[in-house]
A and B are shown apart, each in its own frame.
Chain A
Amino acid sequence: MSKSEAITLQTFTQGLWKENPVFVMMLGLCPVLAVTNTAMNSLAMGVATTFVLVCSGFLVSLLRHVIPKQVRIASYIIIIATFVTMADYLIQAISLDLYQALGAFIQLIVVNCIILGRAEAYASKNGPLKAVVNGAGMGLGFTFALLCLGVVREVLGSGSLFGLQVMPDAFQPWSIFVLPPGAFFVLAFWLMLFAWIEERKRKGGKAA
């Protein structure tokens, strides 16, 4: 075991903020926009994606010395598709309503660039444990992003959170936030907010 196998806290937290797959790397945006009309959907999607990230990362890392370079992408895709299919059936078994709300987007995790990207850039070069921890971090970052959108969209658009009413009765819901345009606007809002925070940090750093 070389030094690079050491698992640091950073292996995990990397995906949360500094390399957040959505806000920083702008990957996997389709599900981010499509399924975040409620917080519950966002959470489920995030968990499913994390599951696939962790499992495929583990398997790819295990097999990294076995798979020849020429067929690695094909192999990764098959491995990922396998876990996505598993997630698909598991969700059906857990709740049909959830399954219907997420629609085809569970299956579309296959083409989510985050996962193939992690397999190619990280899992294929690191040990299984590290790959799992990193995958979990990335998945958590992705879930965080999904929830950022989901919470705002559900609270403003329906006046509720995880299906429970949180706004007073008189509150007028802004249905645009659960409609397609709202998804774009809320994501744009978060991007601007994070860009602004980053800039403040940079400026603050310089001033200090």
Chain B
Amino acid sequence: MNPGSAPAIFLDAFLINNFVLAMFLGICPFLGVSGKVKTAGNMGMAVTFVMIVSSLCAFGINKLLVRYDLEFLRLICFIAVIASAVQLVEMTIKKFSPALFRALGIFLPLITTNCAILGLALFQTAREYSLVQSIAFSLGAGAGFSLALLLMAGLREKLDLADLPGVARGAALTLILAGMLSLAFMGFAGLGG
């Protein structure tokens, strides 16, 4: 597969260089919201959604900034525009689909200040992705985040019923699990190359 093609970019962000497990983006929600499978599913959806929105925003803004030679304002503009875009989307959802809002709503404000979202915008800019590539990238990143989150939530739910030793309580358990997931994901290295 050509590394620049959309499927390759999707696969890369989804499995090979998984956003959470290999790139270490969005660790806070990964540790914080992975206790229950159901919440994890909703969170995954919300993040994927915000990723697509902010990827589009970032793409547009970057075009403008480059046109006017203002690249040094990139970071400030990204963060401001993404935050307001998410705010806008949040209000829209709240108005038109209360059910969707209940599922995603509580996560949206949290997500805005999350490295995965800004990281996505920064990486796609640094790698000079086209619009199609950017969309593939955000879909892959969202899917990768959701997959990691769901697997983690499943494992943690199962371990809720285990006789864990004292040292394995809390964050240490989640981190060891994340390490093992990360080990397992190493198997995908070079996929499609």
Contacts and interface: CB of A to CB of B under 8 A. Distances in A.
B80 A78 contact: yes
B91 interface: no
A188 B118 contact: no
Interface string A175-192: 000011111110110011
B53 interface: no
A7 to B, nearest CB: 29
B39 interface: no
B186 A195 contact: no
A74 B123 CA distance: 23
Instruction: Classify chain B: how many residues form its interface, as a range.
Output: 35 or more
Interface stretch (A103-111, A121-129, A166-174): A103-111
B167 interface: yes
Interface in A100-148: 104, 107-108, 110-113, 116
18 contacts: A26-B28, A26-B31, A27-B28, A29-B31, A30-B24, A34-B25, A77-B79, A78-B80, A88-B75, A107-B118, A108-B115, A108-B119, A111-B117, A112-B115, A181-B186, A184-B176, A184-B182, A191-B171
A85 B170 CA distance: 35
A60 interface: no
B113 A188 contact: no
A85 B171 CA distance: 32
Contacts, number: 103
A180 to B, nearest CB: 5
A27 B167 CA distance: 21
A113 B31 CA distance: 14
B64 interface: no
Nearest to B116: A30
A180 B22 contact: yes
Interface of B: 21-28, 31, 72-73, 75-76, 79-80, 83, 113-115, 117-119, 122-123, 126, 167, 170-172, 175-176, 178-180, 182-183, 186
B76 A85 contact: yes
Interface of A: 26-27, 29-31, 33-34, 74, 77-78, 81-82, 84-85, 88-89, 104, 107-108, 110-113, 116, 179-185, 187-188, 191-192, 195-196
Given A29-B28, A180-B21, A82 B76 contact: yes
Given A88-B75, A180-B22, A104 B126 contact: yes
Contacts of B80: 74, 77-78, 81
A27 B114 CA distance: 11
A180 B79 contact: no
B32 to A, nearest CB: 8
A181 B80 CA distance: 33
Given A77-B80, A84-B75, A30 B28 contact: yes
A166 B26 CA distance: 34
A33 B122 CA distance: 18
